[in-house]
Every structure is written in C-alpha cells, then in structure tokens.
Structure 1
Amino acid sequence: MNIFTKLYDACLRWARHRYAVYILGFISFIESIFFPIPTAAMLAPMALAKPHHALRLALIAMVTSVLGGVAGYLIGAFAFESWVLPWIHELGYTETYLRALDWFAEYGVWVVLIAGFSPVPYKIFTLTAGALSMAFVPFFIASIIARSAQFFLISGLIKWGGEQMQHKLRQYVDWIGWGVLILGVLAYIIYNVTH
C-alpha cells in the first residue's frame, strides 16, 4: 500500500501552490495555539519542492510560530480558566497539561526550549506559560531559540540534501511512514501499560 507515497506527492503539490508560503505562515501561527498538525508537516515538503528557498521558509515558519506562541501566551494569561482549560480536557490533553505543569515547576524556562524543539505539543506550553504568568522575556527568547533550531535544522538538512534527498525520501517514504506509525502505536501501548 502506497498511502504515504501518495500523501508525500500531495504535500509536494500543495507546497508548490502560489499561496503555499501564506499557508505555511498561517499553519505555523495557529499550530502554536491550538492546531494539531505540526508545522514541520508543511515545511518539509515545501523545502523539498523549493530547496533554494528552504532557509527563507524556515525563517517564515519560525517568525509566525513565535508570534503564535505569543498569542498562546496571552490567551493563557487572560482566558485560561474560561476558554483554554475546557478545551484541553475536551481534546484529551489533560495528562499532557498536568505533565507540563510539573515540568514548568521543575525546569522553568528550559521546558519551553524542549517543547519548542521537540515533537511535544508546543501549544500546551505556550498556553500554560501564560496561565502560570511565566516571565515573558525568557519565554519569548526560549521560543525563538527552540523554533529556530527545529525549523532551520529541517530546512538546512533538506537544502543540503537537495534533489537527491527528495528522490531518496520518496523511495522510502512508505517504509518510514509505516515504521513511525508502528513505533507510535507501540509507544502508546507501552505508556498505557506502565502508567
């Protein structure tokens, strides 16, 4: 089954759309607040479609993601109890939110660096940082560093690999996709069995 190859080809077509840069900026912005699909899912195929623009695309993703993070921080600061907390419970992010609270208590601003760079839902940390009245300047600086690291790493690798990487990735995308899916299911099962 070539499900992931078809999705990959579709992403490359979307990435070549004349409004793709605006879509990337929009997705990057809202992903920092509530959107479930990570920015990398749009950035990677766009950088593959236009490797000579890869670093510019990373800059756009970083700036809009950090601005979305600031919006998430403000929403968390002013509407957490009334709007954000019910949303967190409804979407099943309660455990992630409680874990974020523990991590903020233990690690402070370093948690924003980790969340902004890793696949951990960054949106939970932007909203929680605002709700906890975390100092804004350290939050903002950590967001810039973390989002820059993630997006420039993705775009830089793609720019470095160029067209050859695009062909190799397409060749193995189904193996990679199914492998990631199986690992995700195994991780979920292991997590639920051990907790």
Structure 2
Amino acid sequence: MKFFEPVYDRVMGWSRHRYAPRYLAGLSLFESFVLPFPPPDVMLAPMAAASPARAWYLAALTTVASVVGGVLGYLAGWLAFEWLGPWLRDIGYAAELAQAEDWFGTWGVWVVLIAGFSPLPYKLFTITAGALAMAWLPFVLASLLGRGARFFLVALFMAWAGPRAERHLRPYMERIGWAGIGVLAAAIAVYLALE
C-alpha cells in the first residue's frame, strides 16, 4: 500500500488551485502554533516549482503568515502559562520546565532562530518562548530571520529546479517519505539515548 505518493499527488493538486496562496498562508499561520499541522514547505515547494516567477512572493507570504502564527503561539504560551505553569510543576514537569528555561536562558534568541530554520517543530518554541516571557522584539526578529531563510531557500531552490523537479521526485516519493520517517525516528532515538 502506498502512502506518500497519494499525499504528494494531493498536495500537487492543491498547489495548482486558484486559492492555493490562501491555503498556503493559512497552513503557514496555523502550523506555527497548532498541532498537528504539517510544515508549510509541503505546499510551498510544489507551488514554487509549478510557478517559478512567483517564488519570491510565495516565500514572503509563507514567512509573514508563519511569523504571525508564531506571535499567536507566543501569546498563547504567555497567557496559558500563568494558569498552567504551577499545575505542570505540581504534576512532575518541573525538571522539563527548568530545562526549557535553561535553554532559553543560555541560548535566548538563537533557540528561536534555529527552530525557525530547522525541521524542529517551530510551534513548540513559539509557545515556550511566550510561556517563558522571552523578549518580544527579539523573538519576532529571530522568527523572521529563521523562517524567512528557510522558506526563501525552499522556494528559490524549487523555482530553480522548476517543473523538472516534479517529474524526478514523483517516482521516488515513497522511498523519500519513508526515509524521512526513518531519519526522524533515528533522531528521536539518539536524543532519548542521550537524555
């Protein structure tokens, strides 16, 4: 049974829809603070490949919507932590909260910048930044830089590769998808082993 090829075909269909930029903006917004939305790259990449002339616009739209979503995640963390923080500590998450506070205390804005650029779940960092009351302006600037760098690289690479990338990716989509799952599982296993 194939899993990734049908998903790929559906995303490619969405990327050609006349409202695709709206869908991309919505996905980018919600992915930044709501689980379990997929990263916007899954829509941005085929849209940039299908329409290379609009790659800059699509990357900018994705970046702005993602950062607005990040601000909403920050606000959610900031508002909810007042209520949830003491309860989380009481039920045994004091060490995890201390670890997050330590990371943000040590690395500060770099944590958000790295999370914005990397495949790490950006939403967890937006909510945590708000919960820990990270300075707002550095949070927004780090989000803009991290998310912008990521989405512009994806869009520009796919615009350069163009439609030929789609032809070459489609036959290998199952292998690429399962390899991605394997890499993610290995990364989680290594992380848990190092804890």
SS at match of 1:61: helix
Structure 1 residue 175 displacement after superposition: 1.8
TM value normalised by structure 1: 0.85
Report the aligned-residue RMSD.
2.6
Structure 1 residue 67 displacement after superposition: 0.9
Q: Distance in 2 between matches of 1:30 and 1:84?
A: 23
Q: Distance in 2 between matches of 1:119 and 1:16?
A: 25
Structure 1 residue 97 displacement after superposition: 6.5
Please tell me the residue identity of whatever aligns with 2:81.
Answer: F
Gaps of at least 5 residues in structure 1 are 88-93
Aligned length: 190
Structure 2 contact 49–161 (Cα < 8 Å) conserved: no
Cα deviation, 1:56-99, whole Å, max 9, x if unaligned, reads: 11111000111111122222222224369989xxxxxx998665
Write out aligned runs for 1:6-17 (5 A). Answer: 6-17=6-17
Cα deviation, 1:84-134, whole Å, max 9, x if unaligned, reads: 9989xxxxxx99866543320210111111011011111121122222222
Q: Distance in 1 between matches of 2:85 and 2:11?
A: 31
Structure 1 contact 70–126 (Cα < 8 Å) conserved: yes
Identity %: 46
Write out aligned runs for 1:52-63 (5 A). Answer: 52-63=53-64
How has the CA–CA distance of structure 1 residues 45 and 99 changed in structure 2, closer, same or farther, with 3 Å as cutoff?
A: farther
Cα deviation, 1:151-177, whole Å, max 9, x if unaligned, reads: 001001000111121211113222211
Q: Distance in 2 between matches of 1:122 and 1:152?
A: 17
TM value normalised by structure 2: 0.85
- Which residue does 1:152 correspond to in 2? 152
